[in-house]
Structure 1
Amino acid sequence: MPKTYSRWYHPYDSNDKYTRRVAYFCMEYAIHQSLKIYSGGLGFLAGSHMRSAFDLRQNVVGIGMLWKYGYYDQERNEDQSMRPHFTQKYYNFLQDSGITVRVVVNNHPVLVKAMVLKPEVFGTAPIYFLTTDVPENDHLARTITNRLYDPEPNARIAQSIVLGIGGAKVVEALGGAEVYHMNEGHALPLAFHLYQEYGQKEEVRRRMVFTTHTPEKAGNEEHDIQMLHNMSFFNGITLEEARDLTGTTGHMFNHTLVALRLSKVSNGVSQLHGEVARDMWYGNEGVCEIKSITNAQNVPFWMDKQLWDAQERDKDMTMQQRKEEMKRKLFDVVADQTGKIFKPDVLTIVWARRFAAYKRADLLVRDMERFLRLVNKSDMPVQVIWAGKPYPFDHNAVNTFNKLVYISQKQDNVAVLTGYELGLSWKLKHGADVWLNTPRRPREASGTSGMSAAMNGAVNFSVQDGWLPEFARHGENSFVLPIVDTALPDELQDEEDYNNMMRILEQQVIPTYYRDRERWLRIVKQSMRDVIPAFSSDRMAHQYYEMMYNYQVRS
């Protein structure tokens, strides 16, 4: 492999602490509202990581995919229910890197072109986005990079080949990397490319690190190993050699397990998730060490500077005035989408994230009569906003979204917003008084949205899952639900969490907001002070160098 790095472009000299060359592979990045190539938390995390890599002058480049139709555009039918729409995207701020590489998919050659997002555009490390939509490819090959998380298994496998092997070849064209970081297992074919390059499993492990993001089965992909072999997933090595290299004995190939076997070190994305991941995977032979590096968000991008300055000076009146201004900007969106005028002096609860089943978007309406009493109490009214993108082919998730839409249509102070992307997410976190988080514990690996909400004066009200146990102190900087017995059936867990949530809302959260403003502001300020810098992505990006990229495998 060439040892010249003249094309490894950064507009700065690397900080001496971060000189090791790192290639960061991720299927999605949330960088800017105009760049629609992400679905949710994984992309938000990757975007903040690339911003902090730039801020800290780290020697990192990102490798991603240029999705022709993005994830999807969330639109509405005539009855206001959700309609996914796929629209071709164009980006004049991406430049042709001059790099085109060749991969093999299903025994057919496919050309992969790299478009570069230069650091000066949005303040990130350079990111190279891969596309197969080039004239030299046949029609089927050109569709590989059409849609993020394509529902067709063969398309998903082809996308992994493009990201992993195509991305590795782009990195080599840039001069090579010392560390290859897989942010989730989507880029796993990278490992087989490195194996072909270096010929030894230990040489692969010396170069590769891995971040696992979810304890959910759907997030830890499995495929039939023969199908993967037929699709050229293993980059030309025989099926027997692939089995031997990965330790796969049955017919099903687990991507996360193999990534853990072929990396020198890995990490979960919160302290709790690290524990859960170790319990999940340490019983398997050959798994690398699983550390914990808690996810975080980029402070300069997410935080309102005026609100932060006011809390630093303990200017309570200024804080309240600024928060009302931030709420009004969010309520302009509510009015535009729903025709409802929300009031800035009313407690506003926001639930906004992916509509995955375990996140329980509809927990708040489990008992409709009680919910209606809660939001319509005349002396202490409440406004509720939901937002989020269900996976468009998950009919149960779409039905949950639509159920909330229909409920909201009958209530003046309840809204469901579409278009949960960076721009709307920013306004929701700025405008929320309470950031509600209701996953079934311990199935939320991190849940970073609450971090950026706290940066903007929103009080977290949450199940003690993901990052929250490292942050939350009930009644001091947040409100948290008691931990329920996870051995209980889901229905009983839901019932217990619901009753605890409503009790705390009715008896603590709402009365504090209306009847003890001094205490409410103390909680808000403590929350803002505790979230920074502990949950700043600068801390996270630094830890990745210290704990992962510079890690030496013990003999």
Structure 2
Amino acid sequence: MTEARVAYVSMEIAVASDVATYSGGLGVLAGDVIRAAADAGFPMAGVTLLYHEGYFRQHLDATGHQHEEPQSWRPEDTMERLAATATVTISGRAVTVGAWRYLVQGVDGHRVPVYFLDTDRDENDDASRALTRRLYGGDARYRLEQEALLGLGTVAILAALGEHRIETYHLNEGHAALLALGLLERTRDLERVRQHCVFTTHTPVAAGHDRFGTDLAGDVLGHDRMNALRAAGLLYDEQLHMTHLALRASRYANAVAMRHGEVARTMFPEYRIDAITNGVHAGQWTSAAFRDLFDRHLPAWRRNNFALRQAIGIPLREIASAHEAAKRELFARIEQAGGPRLDPAVFTIGCARRSTAYKRNDLILRDRARLTALAERYGGLQLVFAGKAHPHDHDGKAQIARIVDASRELYGTVEIAFVEGYDMNWGGALTSGVDLWLNTPRPPLEASGTSGMKAALNGVPSLSVVDGWWVEGAIEGVTGWSIDARTDGDDAWAAFELYHQLENTIVPLYYERPDAYTDVMRGAIAYNGAHFNAQRMLAEYAIDAYTGAPPAAVTEIATLKAG
């Protein structure tokens, strides 16, 4: 474990399925960055908050209504509690911050630490102890206090831990923006702060960018800090706008896909915002059957993900056999969890992501009669859904209830399973075990998306609206199929295009020309799996963003990027 030069700071980092410190895509992506750094021997440390009750544990009642309960877990089972502490002032209280360390080990044994900040300590009052209780819980004050803890606490705890060689702080989303304030308090020089910060934005929707009124911000941060922010030009329209703060205080900023970069530059035209398209960690998200297959044919693939390009030469029968093993494993897990018994011979579509209105997870159920006719024509159709709705997202909860209702209505013709408690383990099983990965967001609201990238590593092609990463990954009939991007806000047209692709191309190909379908599966691995991976993503960050990283490490990763 080398001394870190880059601190990757994120409100959530998913290091393992049973470490309940993530809600979904943002945290899983952060975890993949850390895993890629461990593989490359890159001098990085992750910093996030510890959530003793996690995000929430999901349970559906008979009507499909989602219920939430604490997701209790024991940090001492997986990580080490460190002796060092620091103190930060939040809402006028002196808050003692401790840290736990989790070590992520790479393919060659290099380890990258992730520091989990914890305020649930005897020295703190109840309000302070609660700051590391639950992810994305509470009101605006609670959220701002957590973001203050993440930003200010990171600067303080890294100093207390002796991480003195940090040259670059990577702010992953606006939640971490107050780290710049912590640095400003030490340097009193915004330009010096800017030289140490880079920023990634993940949100293409204006309402998704955190902003707080100056009265609340003054209460939480204190008036001296607000005056410092104002004097440095870090307030926006007399608001604490976290994205503007991060952009203003960073030397480099990026969106997470080419299309998202275009959207972000429209939203924030006064800043330069580049694009580094997300990627997923190949070793983490490849199923056991495909890991064995790649080990036989492409023995260097774990160290050099670009070798997956040569999967184009793997015999089709071996691709089909590996997929059949992953499919049977998924179906066994669904049945063991109390779901229906699914038939491995039947074409199966997967759709699993956060349940919220713009993602339109239930779009395929819009015309149930048409779906039934398709299933009857070809002898079967199965759908597997998963995803949590935020506890306050009533539209997202209604979406889940509609899926459960459809499972009853279509029983006997179209078999539908909804998997409760979507997490990293279920994510890996679902993206490897279905035959087609479905993604139907309203464009341009998908910043990137990564579940389809995980599916591609396992030879599962996508049927997706042309938005996010699919703008770059879609090769029609080679890596998957597309739904016309002019569907902005028009659910009826999007559903028409979806059904048209299923009826006229995808389902007939699967049942009538199975080798041709497997050829598309192989293309998804070779063209998308080889590119949309975390190793390539980290290489781009090292070259374009981490200018303070050691030259040897940059050279090593640049060599990997060149293949």
- Normalising by structure 2, what TM-score? 0.89
Q: Map Cα deviations across residues 494-545 of structure 1 (whole Å, 9 max, x no partner).
A: 1211111111111111011111112111111111101233111011111111
The aligned residue for residue 216 of structure 1 is 205
Distance 2:119 2:187 in 1: 27
Q: 1:382 to 1:307 in 2, by over 3 A?
A: farther
Name the aligned partner's letter for residue 525 of structure 1: R
Among candidates 71, 84, 87, match of residue 99 of structure 1: 84
Deviation of 1:369 (Å): 1.9
Q: Map Cα deviations across residues 5-56 of structure 1 (whole Å, 9 max, x no partner).
A: xxxxx1xx58xxxxx7111100111221111110111011111100000000
Q: Does 1:290 align with 2:278?
A: no
Q: Map Cα deviations across residues 276-306 of structure 1 (whole Å, 9 max, x no partner).
A: 1111101x4xx3x211111000111111313
Deviation of 1:408 (Å): 1.2
Residue 37 of structure 1: SS of its match in structure 2? coil
- Partners of 1:380 and 1:510 within 8 A in 2: no
- Partners of 1:164 and 1:188 within 8 A in 2: yes
Deviation of 1:322 (Å): 2.2
The aligned residue for residue 43 of structure 1 is 27
The aligned residue for residue 482 of structure 2 is 480
- Partners of 2:467 and 2:485 within 8 A in 1: no
Q: Does 1:384 align with 2:383?
A: yes
The aligned residue for residue 299 of structure 1 is 282
Deviation of 1:350 (Å): 0.3
Distance 1:53 1:343 in 2: 40
The aligned residue for residue 402 of structure 1 is 401
Among candidates 487, 497, 502, match of residue 500 of structure 1: 497
The aligned residue for residue 560 of structure 2 is none
Misfit runs of 4+, over 4 Å = 120-124, 309-313
Residue 426 of structure 1: SS of its match in structure 2? helix
Deviation of 1:162 (Å): 1.1
Q: Map Cα deviations across residues 368-417 of structure 1 (whole Å, 9 max, x no partner).
A: 2223323x315342110110111122122112112211221342411111
The aligned residue for residue 3 of structure 1 is none
Structure 1 runs not aligned, ≥5 long: 1-9, 15-19
Distance 1:165 1:339 in 2: 45
- Partners of 1:338 and 1:415 within 8 A in 2: no
* Mapping 1:234-249, distance limit 5 Å: 237-248=224-235
Among candidates 248, 260, 265, match of residue 252 of structure 2: 265
Q: 1:354 to 1:61 in 2, by over 3 A?
A: same
* Mapping 1:108-123, distance limit 5 Å: 108-120=93-105
Q: 1:300 to 1:93 in 2, by over 3 A?
A: same
The aligned residue for residue 163 of structure 2 is 175
Q: Does 1:65 align with 2:49?
A: yes
Distance 1:541 1:31 in 2: 17
Q: Map Cα deviations across residues 247-285 of structure 1 (whole Å, 9 max, x no partner).
A: 535343321112111111100001111111111101x4x
The aligned residue for residue 32 of structure 1 is 16
Q: Map Cα deviations across residues 199-247 of structure 1 (whole Å, 9 max, x no partner).
A: 1111111111100001123421111022112111x6x635343223235
- Partners of 1:265 and 1:551 within 8 A in 2: no
Q: 1:517 to 1:485 in 2, by over 3 A?
A: closer
- Partners of 2:236 and 2:244 within 8 A in 1: no
Q: Does 1:342 align with 2:348?
A: no
The aligned residue for residue 370 of structure 2 is 370
* Mapping 1:96-245, distance limit 5 Å: 96-120=81-105, 125-173=112-160, 174-176=162-164, 177-232=166-221, 237-245=224-232
* Mapping 1:74-93, distance limit 5 Å: 74-79=58-63, 81-91=65-75, 92-93=77-78
Distance 1:158 1:265 in 2: 26
Residue 343 of structure 2: SS of its match in structure 1? coil
- Partners of 2:252 and 2:545 within 8 A in 1: yes
Name the aligned partner's letter for residue 301 of structure 1: Q
Deviation of 1:78 (Å): 4.8
**Higher deviation after alignment, 22-31 or 377-386:** 377-386
Residue 503 of structure 2: SS of its match in structure 1? helix
- Partners of 2:464 and 2:482 within 8 A in 1: yes
Name the aligned partner's letter for residue 108 of structure 1: R
Q: 1:231 to 1:478 in 2, by over 3 A?
A: same
Q: Map Cα deviations across residues 443-471 of structure 1 (whole Å, 9 max, x no partner).
A: 10110110010110111100111111111
Deviation of 1:170 (Å): 1.4
Structure 2 runs not aligned, ≥5 long: 298-310, 550-563
Q: Map Cα deviations across residues 463-506 of structure 1 (whole Å, 9 max, x no partner).
A: 111111111111121101122064xxx2xx21211111111111
- Partners of 1:105 and 1:158 within 8 A in 2: yes
Residue 47 of structure 2: SS of its match in structure 1? strand
Among candidates 539, 544, 550, match of residue 541 of structure 2: 544
Identical positions, percent = 32
Among candidates 514, 518, 537, match of residue 515 of structure 2: 518
**Higher deviation after alignment, 393-402 or 51-60:** 393-402
Q: Map Cα deviations across residues 320-354 of structure 1 (whole Å, 9 max, x no partner).
A: 22211111111112223344211111111000011
Q: Number of aligned residue pairs: give it.
A: 524
Distance 1:382 1:318 in 2: 24
Name the aligned partner's letter for residue 518 of structure 1: D
Residue 349 of structure 2: SS of its match in structure 1? strand
Name the aligned partner's letter for residue 97 of structure 2: V
Distance 1:112 1:472 in 2: 46
Q: 1:160 to 1:547 in 2, by over 3 A?
A: same
Name the aligned partner's letter for residue 484 of structure 1: R
Deviation of 1:307 (Å): 4.3
The aligned residue for residue 331 of structure 2 is 331
Deviation of 1:79 (Å): 4.5
- Partners of 1:226 and 1:239 within 8 A in 2: no
**Higher deviation after alignment, 345-354 or 407-416:** 407-416
Distance 1:262 1:397 in 2: 34
Name the aligned partner's letter for residue 274 of structure 2: K
The aligned residue for residue 5 of structure 1 is none
Q: Map Cα deviations across residues 154-198 of structure 1 (whole Å, 9 max, x no partner).
A: 111111111111111112222331111100011121111111100
Distance 2:138 2:371 in 1: 36
Distance 1:321 1:116 in 2: 40
- Partners of 1:226 and 1:251 within 8 A in 2: no
- Partners of 1:268 and 1:291 within 8 A in 2: yes
Residue 86 of structure 2: SS of its match in structure 1? strand
- Partners of 2:35 and 2:106 within 8 A in 1: no
Q: CA RMSD in A?
A: 2.0
**Higher deviation after alignment, 345-354 or 85-94:** 85-94
- Partners of 1:30 and 1:38 within 8 A in 2: yes
- Partners of 2:356 and 2:395 within 8 A in 1: no
Distance 1:87 1:527 in 2: 35
